[in-house]
A and B are shown apart, each in its own frame.
Chain A
C-alpha cells in the first residue's frame, strides 16, 4: 500500500504496520477490532491516532507491543520495527523490545501501577533491571524523571493510592521514557491532566523527542492536542483507517464525514452555547473502502456518494 511509504521527513520508517487485522473471538460476540490497517511512523515522527471509542486504537497499540491475549488473534498483516518482524520475535527478543525499543503508556495507566510498591521503587526497578545502574544512581534518575513530568520528587515515597489520577498517569509517563526508547506509544496518556500540566508534559516529551530523535504513536481523543503535537494523523472508524494526512491538512481540510464530525464537534470556548449533536443517530459507516490519495500525502476512504450519511452528517457548530 502506498500510504505506508509516506512518512515524515526523509527518514526510514521505524515502524511499519501493513494490513493488520485483529479479531476477538468470543462465544457470544466476535469482533474484527482492527481491519486491514496500514500505516508507518518515521524516525523522529509524532504520529497521531484518533477515532471513535471502541474503533480499535488500543488493540493496534497492544498488537505492536505483542501484548494481545486470548481470545485475540492477529488474523493477518505484518508489523515491522526497524526492519525486524515483530510478530516473529522470540520471547528473548521481546523482552528487550518491550522496554528498550518500545515503551508504552497504557490507557489504563491510572490502574497499572503496582499497588504495594512506592513510585520510587517501581522506577528504580526499571533502571536496575534494564539499565544496570546502581540503586543510588537509579534513585537520582528517578527523581529527575518525576521533575520532568512536573511532580515533586518527594512523591517517590508515595504509593499509587496516595496519588491523584493525574499524578499516577504522570508517574507512568515517567517510567515509559526512563529508558529512552526509540518508539513511545502513548494511549490516552493525559485524560486526568489539566491542560496546563498536559501542555507542559507534552512539550517536554516533544523536546526529548527532538533531542533523542525517538518516534511517538500518540492516541488521544483530544483532537486539538493531537493536531498541535502530531506531524501526521490517522483517523479510524470501525476498525479501519478512514483518513490520514499531515496534521494541519486533517485539521484544515478534513475530507471524510467522520473526520469532519470529529473536527466539528468541539464545543466552542467563546460565543453563545450552541447545541451540538456530534454524529447524528443512525449514522454508521459500513464496508469502508481502501484509502485513496486525494491530495499529495492526503488519503481518504471514498464515501459512496449515494450513501445516506453523506447529507445527514450534521456539521452544526463546526465553525472554528
Chain B
C-alpha cells in the first residue's frame, strides 16, 4: 500500500493541492428494485482544497454537501468524476478505502453526533483508537494518558469524561468528542460536516479558533461544511456555495459574503437571522425571492439559445477583482459591463428582473 506520493517524506511538491475534486457526480437510485428513477445528488462538482487551506461549504439543506464529503471519505461511491489526494486518484485504488494509511491522511467529522459514536464504548476508546491510527499507539501508557487528557481539554471537555459513554453526554459534548477524535489522528485533511452546530457561541468560537490554529501550526487542510455563514466567514479562506447538487458560486469568504452574485447566495445571506430586525420576516417577499432562485436554476444549462451558458459548456463568470477568485455559475447571471462586477444590488430588483427576463426569454 506504500505509494511514493502518500509518504510524507517523498512528499508531493507544495503546488499539488491537498484535495482535488473533479467533475464529481453521484446519483442515488430511487424507488423499488425495478424502478429506473434516480436522484441526482451531485453533478459536475469541481472543488480544490489547497494545502493548509480552509474552505467552507455552505448551501441549501439537501443540496449534496454531506454526500460530497462522504464520497471523498469513500463512504459513498461516486457515479462519475475523480478525487485526487496529493495528486493521486483515490477512486482508482480499490482497497485503499479501508486502509489505515487513508484514515491517517483523511478524517471526517460526521454531521450527526448522536449517530456517529458507537454507544457500547467509552469516550476513551474512540480517542485511543485515533491515537493508534496516528501511530502514537506504541507510546508509553503514561504518554497516551497525557495525550488523551490534553485532547479533552483542547475541545473544552473535562478529562473525567473519558470514562463516560456517549449517551451520558449532551449534544454539544458529543460533537466535541467527534472533533477530538478526528484531531487525534493529526491527518492532512479534515472533512468536518457541521461540527459545531450544537455548541453555544462562546464554545463554538473556541473550537473554530482551535481549527484555525491546527491549520496554522500543522498545515491541515479542512473542508468545513456549515449553515452558519458567520462562522464560515470567520474561519474559512474561501467559501463555496452549493445548490441542487452543484457548486454555483465560490470565492474569498469576505468578498463572497459581501458581494454574493448568485440569486441563491443572495437569498441565503439575506436570510441570516438578525435580532435587530426581529419580526421583519416577510413571507410574501421571501417566496418571491425563492421563486426567482428556483426559476433560475430549474432550467440550468438547458440549451436555451437566449442564454450564454449551455448544457455542454456552463460558464463560470468572474465576479469583481480577480484576486478574490470569486466566480459564479449561473446562466442567468450576466455581470454588468462597467458595474465593477458587483452587480445585483438589492433583492426586490433581482426578483422582478429575473421574472422579467424569464418572461421575455
Seen from chain A, the residues whose Cβ lies within 8 Å of a Cβ on chain B are 24, 26, 28-29, 50-54, 57-58, 107-108, 110-112, 157, 162-167, 170, 188, 191-200, 203, 221-225, 227-228, 247-248, 251, 261-262, 265-270, 273, 275-279, 320
Contacts and interface: CB of A to CB of B under 8 A. Distances in A.
Nearest to A268: B230
Given A196-B290, A199-B286, A273 B254 contact: yes
Interface of B: 28, 31, 58-62, 66-67, 111-112, 114-115, 160-161, 163-164, 168-173, 175-176, 194, 197-206, 209, 227, 229-231, 233-234, 254, 257-258, 267-269, 271-279, 281, 283, 286, 290
Most chain-B CB neighbours within 10 Å: which of A29, A165, A261, A277?
A165
B31 A157 contact: yes
A61 to B, nearest CB: 11
Contacts of B205: 265, 267, 276-278
A111 B114 CA distance: 6
B161 A221 contact: no
Given A224-B275, A269-B229, A269-B272, A54 B173 contact: yes
B305 to A, nearest CB: 30
A50 B225 CA distance: 24
B271 A199 contact: yes
Contacts of A29: 160-161, 163-164, 168
7 contacts: A108-B114, A110-B114, A191-B194, A195-B272, A196-B286, A228-B274, A278-B206
A225 B273 contact: yes
Given A53-B170, A53-B171, A276-B205, A195 B271 contact: yes
Given A52-B203, A53-B170, A58-B171, A224 B273 contact: yes
Nearest to A24: B168
Nearest to A225: B273
Contacts of A110: 111-112, 114-115
B271 A269 contact: no
A53 B257 contact: no
Contacts of B175: 53
Given A200-B283, A228-B275, 14 more contacts: A51-B200, A54-B169, A108-B115, A108-B171, A164-B66, A188-B198, A191-B198, A191-B227, A194-B58, A198-B271, A199-B271, A270-B257, A273-B234, A276-B209
Given A162-B28, A188-B171, A278 B202 contact: yes
Contacts of B58: 194
Contacts of B199: 53, 221
Most chain-B CB neighbours within 10 Å: which of A53, A247, A279, A320?
A53
A269 B172 CA distance: 24
B202 A197 contact: no
Contact of A227 (B170, B203, B230, B278): B278
A110 to B, nearest CB: 4
Nearest to A204: B283
A224 B272 contact: yes
Contacts of B257: 269-270
B61 A194 contact: yes
A221 B278 contact: no
B62 A53 contact: no
Contact of A191 (B62, B160, B197): B197
B160 A195 contact: no
